[in-house]
């Protein structure tokens, strides 16, 4: 039933407080393909998806750049 025309407000979204270091560690472990289930669940609760995307793109760029430097070094040596 309604009480004086008031509508119930939706529950507030949980506040995620993940640190930059935690995000970097999560992305690094993801690159290696190794992650504990409990840690994964904690990451889902605390890390913001946008941070994971940005850190993942930066890490992928650095990985490709490192490979290019290594190949150039081997080819010119």
Inside any domain, residue 32: no
Q: What is the pTM of this model?
A: 0.68
Per-residue pLDDT of the chain (77 residues; tens, 9 = 90+): 556 666 777 776 666 677 889 899 989 888 888 888 888 888 888 999 999 999 999 999 999 999 999 999 999 98
Residues 6+ positions from 49 with CB-CB distance below 8 Å: none
Residue 40 CA to residue 20 CA, distance in Å, equals: 16
Inside any domain, residue 12: no
The total number of structural domains in the chain stands at 1
Enclosing domain of residue 67: 41-76
Whether residue 21 contacts residue 43, with contact meaning beta carbons closer than 8 Å, is answered with no
Helical segments of 1-77, H only: 20-32, 37-46, 49-76
Residue 48 CA to residue 41 CA, distance in Å, equals: 13
Inside any domain, residue 4: no
């Amino acid at each position: 039933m309604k009480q004086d025309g008031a509508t119930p407000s939706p529950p507030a979204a949980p506040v995620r407080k993940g640190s930059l270091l935690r995000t970097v560690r999560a992305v690094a472990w993801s690159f290696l393909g190794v992650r504990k289930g409990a840690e994964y669940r904690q990451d889902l609760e605390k890390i913001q998806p946008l941070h994971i995307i940005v850190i993942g793109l930066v890490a992928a760029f650095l990985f490709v750049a490192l490979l290019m430097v290594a190949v150039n070094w081997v080819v010119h040596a």
